Amino acid sequence: MLEQLDIIEQAALQGLQIVKDEADLEQWRVAHLGRSSPLMQVFDRLGSLPKEERPQIGKRANQVKQLLEAKLAQMSETLRQAALARALQQERLDVTLPGRPVARGRLHPTTQILRRIYSIFAEMGFQVYRSREVETDEYNFELLNIPAHHPARDMWDTFHTTTPGVLLRTHTSPGQIHVMRERAPQPIRVILPGMCYRYEQVSVRKDIQFNQVEGLAVGQRITYGDLKGTLNDFARRMFGENVRTRFRASYFPFTEPSAEMDIECFLCNSKGCSVCSGSGWLEILGCGMVHPTVLRNGGYDPEKYSGYAFGMGPERIAMLRYRIEDIRFFWVNDMRFLEQF
């Protein structure tokens, strides 16, 4: 058996000398160290040998196995180094060629507009206040002077949840109640940005989800003139000093009096298009003086305090600022559209 092990060792070493590549080396490994190789068969027969021969033969078999494994590792490294040398010799890289440009990320146009809105109102002394998107019927409607079965509820096509009285907010106005109840009776000057949801027909002007930025100012001796001055100043900072605006009387249950503010349509130069419905004007916000009932629900005495509120649509402002013709572009994630910003 010892002579057989010597023959196995010599045959394996001779076979290793003719190995030229990784495939040959793998065949050599299977032939001399594989499960069915002569060396492994010696280990299988150890149990049938006389007890006095087993230690010597087992020791010699392990020596042969360790030698062959060491030779296998050595040859594998030699082949790897040879392959690397060939690759370095044959595969050349021209480092003088210009590299491929890395695509740069961009802020979404809505994010850009929101940041611009925050900046403008921050310069006017407004703070940002965040409120939740899932609201109760009480905060979304009742505390805003819209009781159950009030006809004004038809103005907001609401997404209701499976929990009674819980819904996706239809506007950011519920945040007015939250911030007033937190800070009453202190003066307030905040903007409340966030996502809103309405079950509406999707068109070039409307979508079922959209951003809104609410504004609220509460204090003593606040007038409608303060409201108009603030919004006109905002329009000039956003669209330029020569922008034309107009206020139209409107109705909102939580403000009295109420108005809507329009900006001249830049897409058609006020001639009329599908975005402005042929009017030459595009509404960007609703506004008004905070209704006494809403002030009272927020913890302020309407005999001593007054305030104004407004709610604007950043997507519509972006449409005007960047001359975008379809509000649906903001949500389709088309890179051809987004890369323009």
Q: How confident is the model over 64-109, as pLDDT tens digits?
A: 788 888 888 888 888 888 888 888 788 777 778 888 888 888 888 8
CA dist., res. 104 & res. 337, Å (int): 15
How large a percentage of the chain has pLDDT more than 90?
A: 43
Q: At residue 138, does pLDDT exceed 90?
A: yes
Predicted pLDDT at 7: 78
Task: Compute the average pLDDT of residues 160-182.
Answer: 94
Antiparallel, parallel or unpaired: β 306-312 and 281-290: antiparallel
- What pLDDT digit, counting tens, does each position of 175-206 carry? 999 999 999 999 999 999 999 998 887 777 67
DSSP β-bridge partners for residue 213: 193, 312
Higher pLDDT, 45 or 27: 27
Structure confidence at residue 190 (pLDDT): 97
Confidence at residue 279, expressed as pLDDT on a 0 to 100 scale: 79
Distances from the Cα of 229 to the Cα of 43, 222, 235, 301, angstroms? 97, 12, 10, 25
- DSSP bridge pairs for 188: 218
Q: Indicate the pTM of the whole model.
A: 0.67
The pLDDT value given to residue 275: 66
How confident is the prediction for the chain on average, in pLDDT? 87
Residue 171, both tokens: 């506007």
Pairing of strands 188-197, 127-128: parallel
The residue-averaged pLDDT of 320-337 equals 84
The confidence band for 117, taking pLDDT boundaries of 50, 70 and 90, is very high
pLDDT greater than 70 at residue 298: yes
Distances (CA, A) of 260 to 107, 181, 285: 29, 27, 6
Q: Which residues of 5-29 are buried (b: 16+ CB within 10 A; e: fewer)?
A: beebbeebeeebeebeeeeebeebb
pLDDT of residue 222: 96
At the fourth CATH level, the homologous superfamily of domain 109-338 is: Bira Bifunctional Protein; Domain 2 (3.30.930.10)
